[in-house]
Amino acid sequence: MIGNDIVDLNLARCSHRWQNYRFIEKIFSTKEQKLISKWIDPFQCIWRLWSMKESAYKSHLRSFGKTFFSPSKFECRLFSTTEGMITISDQQYRVTTVMEKEFIYSTAFSNKAKTTVSDYFRIKDTSYMSQHSKTYEGLILTFSNLYGMKPSHLNVKKNELGIPCMYYQNHPLRIPISLTHHGHYCAYVIEPKTVVF
Amino acid sequence: MNNNELVNKLKTIVKPYIQDEEAFANLSENTDFITDLKINSANLVDVALDVEDEFDITIENEEMEKMLNVKAAIDIVKAKLGK
């Protein structure tokens, strides 16, 4: 299973909450708080860990089907500038993170996820409708190329838990997808599998 | 404070973070912060902090875990204020 999360760093910087200890305490474990305080750029570290937690939550939600909001329970470990791991209860998720000057993008995989197709891009209009439609358009186009399906036959619907699902002519496809957008940045990821109707 | 008053206070708190005006206009106890109001999950922490400030309470991380909709938020506030 997969999940992804993108953070527009300019937008994240607008809110000064990240410098507030109460905010930090609600999201990070004591161990993570120590890691942040020692980091050369605490702001970057905070949002890297956040995007790792959020992407792993999406993957976790897909596997277990239960919504909850408990970021501090998703314990981060960093292995390199791009690789990390999230542990929640007895589950582990590998997380790959792209860190650029303007955004941070994480993709989480459970052990079963082998390969993924992922893309991120910048948009001008930051309204929710624009973010939403551009992310969906990008995903549908890539998906249609991947499976040789007409884009007009594809659409994305979210279930009652907010998990997105790709539909082909109104038949749900059991191919995990995940979408994210924040400010000027959008991203999607597909876990390619054989199509089953 | 009755539920209506609490819903109204909560409505003022979540307003800066919502991304779906229609769902916000129709906000009720059954409204979900993420799937209905499209609140970004990082902003859910802001909601929790603003609720703490507004009602002068402390929400533990275990309590915040369930705070995904209006009803759950009201239940937490009521339980805290009732103590």
DSSP string, A28-87: --HHHHHHHHHSSSHHHHHHHHHHHHHHHHHHHHHHH------GGGSEEEE-SSSEEEEE
Contact between A26 and B34 using a beta-carbon 8 Å cutoff: no
Tokens of A37: 């305080």
Angle CA(A59)–CA(A62)–CA(A67) in degrees, nearest 5? 95
Contact between A70 and B67 using a beta-carbon 8 Å cutoff: no
Chain A residues closer than 8 Å to B61 by CB: 25-26, 70, 72-73
Q: State ipTM.
A: 0.90
Q: Which residue ranges of chain A lie beneath pLDDT 70?
A: 196-197
Domain ranges of chain B: 3-82
Distance CA A152, CA A150 (A): 5
Question: Chain A contact for B38, CB < 8 A?
Answer: yes
Distance CA A73, CA A86 (A): 9
Question: Chain A contact for B35, CB < 8 A?
Answer: yes
Angle CA(A28)–CA(A34)–CA(A36) in degrees, nearest 5? 70
Distance CA B37, CA B58 (A): 24
Structural domains present in chain A: 2-109 (3.90.470.20), 117-190 (no CATH)
Chain B residues closer than 8 Å to A88 by CB: none
Residue A197 has a pLDDT of 61
Contact between B34 and A162 using a beta-carbon 8 Å cutoff: yes
Instruction: Say which CATH superfamily domain B3-82 falls into.
Output: ACP-like (1.10.1200.10)
Q: Contact at 8 Å (CB) between A38 and A46?
A: no
pLDDT digits (tens, 9 = 90+) for A105-118: 999 999 777 789 99
How far CA A157 is from CA of A50, A140, A164, A178, B20, in Å, comes to 26, 12, 6, 12, 17
pLDDT digits (tens, 9 = 90+) for A59-97: 999 999 999 999 999 999 999 999 999 999 999 999 999
Q: Contact at 8 Å (CB) between A107 and A3?
A: yes
Chain A residues closer than 8 Å to B48 by CB: 26
Q: Contact at 8 Å (CB) between A168 and A157?
A: no
